[in-house]
Every structure is written in C-alpha cells, then in structure tokens.
C-alpha cells in the first residue's frame, strides 16, 4: 500500500485548481534524463507559462531547485513555490499575482 506524502497532496490540489481555472497543466518528473531541480508542474494559459514547485508546509527547495528557479527567471519565466491551493488565490489575468520566485511561507 502506498502512502501519499503531504507534497503529493499539494500537487494534486494545485493541479486540480489550475485545471478548473482553464490552465493546461502537466507534471515534470525528476529522474534520469531530466533537468536537475526541474519544477513539479508547468501550467500554461494563453501566453502565460508558470513553473510551479509544490512543497509541504515545512518543505524547502534544494540547491538544484534554487538553480533551476534562477535559470527560469533569467529567461523571463515565472517560477513560484506553493504550499497550498490558498497560495493560488491571487490567480488573475492568466498569471499568478505572486512575484517571480515567490516562496509563500506558512
């Protein structure tokens, strides 16, 4: 029997919420052949592309995740760290009303 982690619960809820908001959402899987530190989800609506790292209330980004965030931002991308669907409450106009690389603390 598999155990669902707090982070998995956040990912599922965030994905569901964004789909309901009209985003095309897909997961990225870390592993052999993937980019080190890649975000958990990518959400696209119109010309907006969001790179989303989902964390539990106590989870922290690794050094590779921080580097991936910097790489995305250096190319003008939007990267956010979310800990619950509530962190997406600022969803407006096709883009999160959170600044790039926002890490929403509990």
Query: Is residue 60 assigned to a domain?
Result: yes
| Cross-strand partners of 54 | 82
Number of independent structural domains in the chain: 1
Domain carrying residue 85:
6-103
pLDDT tens across the length of the chain (106 residues): 568 999 999 999 999 999 998 999 999 988 888 899 999 999 999 988 999 999 999 999 999 999 999 999 999 998 999 999 888 766 433 344 333 344 443 3
Query: Is residue 50 assigned to a domain?
Result: yes
Query: Is residue 12 assigned to a domain?
Result: yes
CATH at residue 22:
3.40.1350.10
| Cross-strand partners of 53 | 81
Place of tokens 């990912």: 11
Q: Name the pTM for this structure.
A: 0.80
Query: Is residue 1 assigned to a domain?
Result: no
């Amino acid at each position: 029997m598999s155990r669902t982690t707090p982070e998995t619960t956040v990912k599922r809820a965030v994905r569901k919420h964004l789909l309901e908001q009209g985003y095309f959402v897909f997961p990225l899987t870390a592993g052999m052949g993937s980019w080190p530190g890649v975000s958990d989800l990518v959400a696209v609506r119109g010309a907006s592309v969001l790179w989303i790292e989902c964390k539990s209330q106590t989870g922290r980004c690794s050094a590779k995740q921080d580097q991936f965030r910097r790489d995305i931002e250096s190319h003008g991308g939007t990267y956010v760290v979310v800990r619950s669907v509530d962190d997406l409450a600022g969803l407006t106009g096709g883009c999160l009303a959170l600044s790039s690389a926002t890490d929403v603390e509990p």
